[in-house]
Amino acid sequence: MALFRTRSAAVYGIDAHLIDVEVDMYPSGTARDFVTVGMPDTAVRESRERIKSALINSGFGYPSKSVTINLAPANVRKEGAGFDLPMAAGILGAMGVIGAAGGYLLVGELSLDGSVRAVRGALSIAICARKADIPNVIVPSENGAEAAVVEGVNVYGVRHLAEVVSLLNQPEQFTARRRETTAAPSQDVLTPDFSEVRGQTTSKRALEVAASGAHNVLMIGPPGSGKTMLAKRIAGILPPLTFEEALESTKVHSVAGVLPKGAGVLVERPFRAPHHTISDAGMIGGGAGTPRPGEVSLAHHGVLFLDELPEFPRNVLELLRQPLEERSVTVARANMTLTFPANLMLVAAMNPCPCGFYGDSTRECRCTGGIIQRYLAKISGPLLDRIDLHIEVPAVAYKELRGNGNGTSSAEMRERVERARRTQQARGFNNAQIPSRLLRKLCALDDSGERTLEMAVRRLGLSARAHDRILKVARTIADLEGAGNITAKHLAEAVQYRSLDRNYWT
């Protein structure tokens, strides 16, 4: 009888948890069984065929004994093909090919020829190894860059099972992968510039305010007015990711399996633009088996752009209410509850009616009042309340369209945005996330401001949530000007960004 232990990890949510892989081999006459226990899913149970072929094709042969593999703890479901490598290493250890693997955490999917394929969540797995005081991590070569981001562990990227055997038997002949310090690419080159947008001065100003305070924004205007063009340029004026933010965003992308091949840590803020046919699980996360992060989590520390907002299913839009308020998503299942981060900036765009020309002075709207109201009713009041700025994006006049002058560039806007964000960082949070207990202190008003806000709340019939968001936007406008106190002028502009929904929805 031979017993050998290796260690691996399973990803649940965006975090990984340590899994012990115990391999036992024993004679059983002519029959040779391969049994995996410990709540394995179909992919894990099928690994026996991949492992057998990989061992034989790698020249190690396959033992003439029965094999039992236990994945502990046994009360947690194990999913995915990432357990192939530690299970194969355990069998080789039980055969005497490998001496010991106590200081290593292994993860990887095996091909039939013994090559090692990439897996999801390598960054989270490396963090798990560091927390468990496991000094060495063996991952597929394609996952090496992202796993090497974690300090305090030695990361080895491997391409073949034979390489793993050599590494475990002669570790002194291998060098751990170093963390790649790649400079962030220039946003001026990679991201479209606001100077390319003709006209739309008011809209640019509103988007600068939104970016400065991480506020959600809704753009309403006819087709071809530039809503999508404006939205795609917002990422170019946002501050660069801090290392902590980049690490959090990379974990989400790694777990979801959408991290670019061979990439390390993300260097740009995510910009996600899902199609309006997306499902509720695709938007907020979920799916069969262990829930996966959705678009709101993939946009963590970045921008979620929803074009043609009323075309999204009503149930999908209503599911956005929790993430926009709490900056996280909780997905509950019968056997587990997972929380995904969703600290995002929502940018939405829509037409004022199905044909798109309601209120346009140059083109006639063909929609009846009932059709328009049914179209607008797809966006509920509670969802609108969670969007800080509502702006109108009118059609661009011919003279502005054909003008030669360049507007304000993204670099200039980004400089002002970063200056305003630095002011907010000194407080500990962006203005969009000012806690209620500090709202009166940070957004104190003088007598003139009180009268302006009172008049706006009464005339527009604003809710308590809308009242708070006006104060937060006014705080951002004051920060952009470098003003310490909010004045009536700042409030008037903030109120202007909340009045558009009353023109359409009431």
The DSSP secondary structure of 95-143, one letter per residue, reads HTS----TTEEE--EEPTTSBEE--S-HHHHHHHHHHTT--EEEEEGGG
Largest CA distance in the chain: 92
Supply the DSSP symbol for 486. Answer: B
pLDDT at 29: 62
Other Cβ atoms closer than 10 A to 371 = 15
Which residue ranges make up each domain of the chain?
2-173, 187-430, 434-506
Distance CA(443)–CA(420), nearest Å, equals 15
Distances (CA, A) of 400 to 175, 204, 225, 406, 469: 60, 14, 12, 10, 33
Give the pLDDT of residue 504: 65
Q: What is the pLDDT of residue 114?
A: 95
Q: Which residues, in sequence order, are CB contacts of 9 under 8 Å at separation 6+?
A: 16, 17, 18, 19, 105, 107, 124, 125, 128, 129
pLDDT for the residue numbered 191: 66
**Which positions ≥6 away from 188 have C-beta within 8 Å?**
236, 410, 411
Low-confidence ranges of the chain (pLDDT < 50): 1, 183-189
Q: How many CB atoms lie within 10 A of CB 404?
A: 4
Q: How far apart are the first and last CA of the chain?
A: 78
CA angle, corner 385, sides to 381 and 387, nearest 5? 120
Residues whose CB is less than 8 angstroms from the CB of residue 388 and which lie 6 or more positions away in sequence, other chains included: 210, 213, 215, 216, 217, 432, 469, 472, 473, 497
- C-alpha 197/C-alpha 186 separation (Å) is 20
For the chain, helix (H) and strand (E) counts, in that order, are 23, 18
Query: Nearest Cα to 191, choosing from 246, 240, 245, 237?
Result: 237
CA triple 256-257-259, angle to 5 deg: 105
- The average confidence (pLDDT) of the chain is 89
Q: Which fold has domain 2-173?
A: Ribosomal Protein S5; domain 2 (3.30.230)
Q: Is 176 exposed, middle or buried (0-12, 13-18, 19+ CB in 10 A)?
A: middle
Look at residues 313, 254, 252 and name the one whose alpha carbon lies nearest to residue 281. 313
Q: Which fold has domain 187-430?
A: Rossmann fold (3.40.50)
Predicted local distance difference test score (pLDDT) of residue 281: 92
CB 62 within 8 A of CB 53: no
Q: How many CB atoms lie within 10 A of CB 361?
A: 7
CA proximity to 139, closest of 130, 126, 152: 126
Q: How far apart are CA 168 and CA 86, in angstroms?
A: 12
Q: Exposed (0-12), middle (13-18) or buried (19+): which is 185, by Cβ within 10 Å?
A: exposed
In 348-446, which residue ranges form alpha helices assigned H by DSSP? 369-376, 381-385, 398-401, 410-425, 436-442
Q: What is the pLDDT of residues 303-348, one digit of tens each?
A: 999 999 999 999 999 999 999 999 999 988 777 788 999 999 999 9
